[in-house]
Amino acid sequence: MSSPTDALTTEIVGLFAAINRRYAQESEGAAATHDLTPLQAKALLAAEEPVPTRRIADRLHAEPSNVTAIIDRLQARGLVERSNDPADRRVKRVAATAAGLAVAADLRARMPFAAEPLAALTVHQRESLRELLHLVLEA
């Protein structure tokens, strides 16, 4: 096992940071063009199809109660609407409106790297990367 201070490890950690920075800068810039926060933009993208609030919370890595305020702001701007889930009225579904879908399309167009950060990799390379990242997380 290599020392955490070796040059290769330092370079890899730096690459993770650079990827994260590039993703954040691109998504923040796209969101800002629509006067959205990055979390609001991510929630809107998650609601392009009607989904339960919980699914948006999962995508944002947040508690559903915290996502409520984000959805409230998007709804106030006419970008999403809420409805009861036909299968379970206790579940609220969120769906982008026509205006929200237009903003979501523009967000995607402005975020080619954030939308597909692994586009340059083959399926085999992605699978290998996934396996390696699981090993890192399990260590």
Would the pTM of this model clear 0.85, i.e. be above it? no
> Can you list the alpha helix ranges (DSSP code H) found in the chain?
7-32, 38-46, 53-60, 64-76, 98-110, 112-115, 123-138
**DSSP state letter for 6:** S
Judge residue 47's burial from the number of C-beta atoms within 10 Å of its C-beta, 0-12 exposed, 13-18 middle, 19 or more buried.
buried
Which residues, in sequence order, are CB contacts of 66 under 8 Å at separation 6+?
57
Write the pLDDT tens digit of every residue in 108-124: 999 999 888 999 999 99
Whether 3 has a pLDDT exceeding 80, the answer reads no
Write the pLDDT tens digit of every residue in 47-81: 999 999 999 999 999 998 899 999 999 999 999 99
As given in the structure block, the two tokens for residue 22 are 């590039």
Give the pLDDT score at 1.
52
